[in-house]
Structure 1
Amino acid sequence: MRLENLEIEDILIDIKPLDHIMGKHAFIRAGQWDYERVTYDYKIGSKEKNITYYIRIQGYAVEGDVDRGNAVIKLMTPLLGKHYYPHGVEYGEEENFPENLVERAKKLVQGVRDEVKDHENK
């Protein structure tokens, strides 16, 4: 599910402050990057058996290199996904997400957005 209209997509920010901000808000990049792209995930546990939810914020380098730590990242529309063990994460619109989970996800993304905007490249 796309979390649209949260005003985070298209923000340009240097990779170093972005990594710091995302870590502060418990979004983990771990090994999910290459030279041109980054992916940050926030894990939300569930009482449902074998189900975990993830908020995913992705971005891509418009200049520089992620590996070298000098990239300028353009953020994309965040996603809310549902992980089905052992099959993987589904982000499709046909997935059902509890309304309280969607609201929680939006608030978490807005918290990141507010801080990212303070470091935005204009």
Structure 2
Amino acid sequence: MKLENVGIEDTIMEIKPLDRIMGNNAFIRAGQWDYERVTYDYKIGSNEKNITYYIRVQGYAIEGDVDRGDAVIKLLSPLLGKHYYPHGVEYGEEENFPENLVERATKILQKVSEELKELNVE
């Protein structure tokens, strides 16, 4: 499910401050990147059996290289996904997400958006 109008989409920022802000807000970039793209995930536990939710923020380099740490990243609209053990994460619009989860995800992303705007160079 796309989470639109939370203020993150189309943000442009250098990779190092972006990594710091995302990390300070519990988003993990682990090994989910390549030379041109980044993916940050935020894990949300659930009382549902074998279900975990994730907020995913993706971006791509408009200049520089992610691996060298000199990339300038443009962020895309965040996604809310549902992980079904052991099959994987589904981000489709046909997924049902509890309203309180969508509200929680939106608040988390709005907080990140505010921090990004404080440091954003563009």
Give the structure-2-normalised TM-score. 0.98
- Once residues 3 and 81 of structure 1 are traced to their aligned partners in structure 2, the CA distance between those partners, rounded to angstroms, is 10
Give the alignment of 1:13-52 within 5 angstroms. 13-52=13-52
Task: Give the gaps of 5 or more residues in structure 1.
Answer: none
1:44-98, Cα deviation, whole Å (9 max, x unpaired): 1111111000000010000000000000000000000000000000001110000
- Once residues 68 and 119 of structure 2 are traced to their aligned partners in structure 1, the CA distance between those partners, rounded to angstroms, is 19
Task: Give the gaps of 5 or more residues in structure 2.
Answer: none
SS of aligned partner of 1:118 = helix
- Once residues 121 and 10 of structure 1 are traced to their aligned partners in structure 2, the CA distance between those partners, rounded to angstroms, is 13
- Once residues 121 and 88 of structure 2 are traced to their aligned partners in structure 1, the CA distance between those partners, rounded to angstroms, is 34
Asked whether 1:65 is paired with 2:65, we answer yes
The count of residues paired between Structure 1 and Structure 2 equals 122
- Once residues 118 and 72 of structure 2 are traced to their aligned partners in structure 1, the CA distance between those partners, rounded to angstroms, is 15
Give the structure-1-normalised TM-score. 0.98
* RMSD of aligned alpha carbons: 0.6
